[in-house]
């Protein structure tokens, strides 16, 4: 019965399209209902409001991509062609790469915060290197296609984002590794002294471990102990102390692969 109904709807869409018209499958009331369900049971304050504009039943375009705590994931994407307005080159050491590479960039506030984090860690005998920070939409397209060709689409989706849905495109995220770079973006980083330091201190500088262990079904990504996301000190401490994800903070709908 469901397949017959779906086929009927598709025929109607095609017929109207040929007549030069368009048919919106979801009306405004349905759109509002979907957004309300995402926030049900949680009070939404000014910091949490208006990050979502309805696009379709699986993806929304964030309405305020410049917001520091913006939620970007498999269901909440950046506007097409988005480029942060305040990108600057970070003043931290990176794994070997061209000094003018875009992956050395972050938004101004996040760049200042990661410098403080690196300096504080170094003062305690813990050394970090940056691996990859900002990533343009063009770069994300190339990177995702590379992973798909190597591992297949479904596997790639567990650790890499479709263009427009990568946190790296916000300029607020950075992958880091230990001082010798041997575990860059690798599972072995999870057992390092550096990873343990981040668990204890990242929030003090406004960062969260964005894809924590045990939250894969919520974030839609495998555990990445090296992926830091800047959200500001107050929010970072709240999220970390509660042991939740950014999705849970916003009471967003469960992420689907």
| pTM (two decimals) | 0.77
Taken in order 8, 12, 17, 19, the sign of the CA dihedral is positive
Query: What is the SS3 assignment for 148?
Result: helix
Residue 102 and residue 126 in one domain: yes
CATH of the domain at 119: 3.30.1380.10
In 3D space, the residue among 203, 142, 164 whose CA is nearest the CA of residue 73 turns out to be 164
Residue 31 and residue 50 in one domain: no
In 3D space, the residue among 235, 244, 168, 242 whose CA is nearest the CA of residue 205 turns out to be 235
The values of phi and psi at residue 85, to 5°, are -80, -20
* Interval 53-83: pLDDT, tens: 323 347 899 999 999 999 999 999 999 999 9
* Interval 228-248: pLDDT, tens: 999 999 999 999 999 999 999
Is residue 200 one of the residues assigned to a domain? yes
* Interval 139-185: pLDDT, tens: 999 999 999 999 999 999 999 999 999 999 999 999 999 999 999 99
Positions marked catalytic: 224
Q: pLDDT class for 257, splitting at 50, 70, 90?
A: low
Per DSSP, 183 falls in state: T
Is residue 122 one of the residues assigned to a domain? yes
Residue 31 and residue 4 in one domain: yes
Residue 198 has pLDDT above 90, yes or no: yes
The values of phi and psi at residue 33, to 5°, are -60, -40
Residue 1 and residue 114 in one domain: no
In 3D space, the residue among 52, 58, 56 whose CA is nearest the CA of residue 75 turns out to be 58
Residue 187 has pLDDT above 80, yes or no: yes
174 by Cβ neighbours in 10 Å (0-12 / 13-18 / 19+) ranks as: buried
Structural domain range at position 160: 45-250
Work out the angle between the directed axes of helices 108-123 and 193-201 (0-180°, nearest 10).
120
Is residue 256 one of the residues assigned to a domain? no
In total, how many domains does the chain have?
2
What are the structure tokens assigned to 27, written together?
């009306």
Rounded CA separation 99/177 (Å): 18
Q: pLDDT class for 135, splitting at 50, 70, 90?
A: very high
Rounded CA separation 167/238 (Å): 20
Is residue 255 one of the residues assigned to a domain? no
Residue 31 and residue 59 in one domain: no
Rounded CA separation 172/162 (Å): 17
Residue 237 and residue 111 in one domain: yes
Q: Are 130 and 90 in contact (CB under 8 A)?
A: yes
């Amino acid at each position: 019965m469901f397949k017959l109904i779906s086929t009927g709807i598709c025929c109607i869409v095609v017929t109207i399209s040929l007549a030069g018209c368009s048919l919106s499958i979801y009306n405004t009331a349905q759109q509002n209902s979907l957004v309300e369900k995402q926030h049900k049971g949680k009070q939404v304050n000014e910091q949490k409001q208006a990050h979502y504009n309805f696009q379709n039943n699986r993806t929304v375009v964030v309405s305020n991509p410049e917001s520091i705590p913006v939620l970007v994931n498999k269901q909440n994407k950046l506007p097409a062609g988005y480029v942060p307005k305040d990108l600057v080159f970070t003043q931290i050491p990176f794994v070997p790469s061209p000094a003018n590479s875009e992956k050395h960039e972050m938004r101004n506030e996040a760049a200042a915060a990661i410098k403080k984090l690196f300096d504080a860690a170094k003062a305690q005998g813990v050394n970090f290197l940056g691996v990859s920070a900002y990533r343009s939409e063009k770069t994300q397209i190339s990177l995702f296609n590379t992973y798909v060709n190597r591992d297949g689409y479904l596997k790639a989706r567990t650790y890499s984002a479709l263009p427009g849905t990568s946190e790296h495109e916000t300029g607020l995220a950075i992958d880091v590794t230990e001082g010798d770079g041997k575990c860059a973006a690798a599972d072995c980083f999870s057992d390092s002294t550096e990873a343990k330091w981040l668990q204890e201190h990242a929030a003090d500088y406004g960062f969260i471990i964005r894809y924590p262990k045990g939250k894969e079904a919520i974030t839609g990504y495998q555990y990445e102990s090296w992926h830091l996301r800047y959200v500001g000190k107050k929010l970072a401490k709240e999220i970390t102390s509660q042991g939740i994800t950014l999705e849970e903070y916003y009471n967003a709908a469960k992420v689907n692969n």
